[in-house]
Amino acid sequence: MMIRYPILSIASSKATLAGTAMGRQMLAQLISETQPVTEPTVAYLDFSGVDIATGSFLREAVLGFRDFSRNAIGMLYPVVANANHTIEEELSVYLKDRNDAIWACSLDDKGGAKNSHILGELDAAQLSTLQLITEHRPISAPQLSKLCPQEKIGTTAWNNRLAMLTAKGILMELKSGKTKMFTTVMEAI
């Protein structure tokens, strides 16, 4: 399932998005337009037509919405879509300084995602975990522990890694009975 938020339209057709105040206004609008979801859902923040978005705007609007989605809703996974190179670079620099990351992609006219990639930075442990999950999805922490005995990482440590990547919106949590299974939010890395 997916939701598409047209950022240019929500911003009253302003192609330049700047500042903390404007970012907080956007966050409030995104939250007000968000309906509860009953299954894991990708929320595309579609930057088509937006020329410039400053770091302070992106921090408040995009990362604020990601944190709201992950904490308050739980099953909503924001992805930056159709952002130009300048916007992606601005967001990536901010994220790298904080060892944080978010998915980005391009969307076609029908809403299909392509060219998915991660903006920001994952540490080596997070990156190797993401690569394992990409190869073996969906997978649980106990399954990861059994899959990689040479790593000498217990189920609790795998759970911690999975929880961090899920909090960032990089992984999607799927419930299978009492078991938590994990898969990537986007198909490619």
Residue 189 pLDDT > 60: no
User: Residue 19's domain is classified under what CATH number?
Assistant: 3.30.750
Q: What integer pLDDT is reported at residue 155 of this predicted model?
A: 84
Query: Is residue 38 in a domain?
Result: yes
Mean pLDDT of 166-189: 87
Task: Residue 53: give the domain boundaries.
Answer: 2-120
**Are residues 138 and 113 both part of a single domain?**
no
Task: Using alpha carbons, select from 31, 100, 29, 15 the residue that is nearest to residue 59.
Answer: 100
Identify the domain boundary among 71, 103, 120. Answer: 120
Contact 113, 106 (CB under 8 A): yes
Label residue 57 by pLDDT band (50, 70, 90).
very high
Distance spanning both ends of the chain, measured CA to CA: 20
71 compared with 17, residue with greater pLDDT: 17
Instruction: Tell me how crowded residue 59 is: count the other CB atoms within 10 A of its CB.
Output: 19
Task: Using alpha carbons, select from 82, 65, 74 the residue that is nearest to residue 25.
Answer: 65
- Mean of the per-residue pLDDT values of the chain: 92
Residue 133 pLDDT > 80: yes
User: Residue 129's domain is classified under what CATH number?
Assistant: 1.10.10.10
**Are residues 89 and 143 both part of a single domain?**
no
Residue 188 pLDDT > 60: no
Q: Which two tokens stand for residue 5?
A: 């938020």
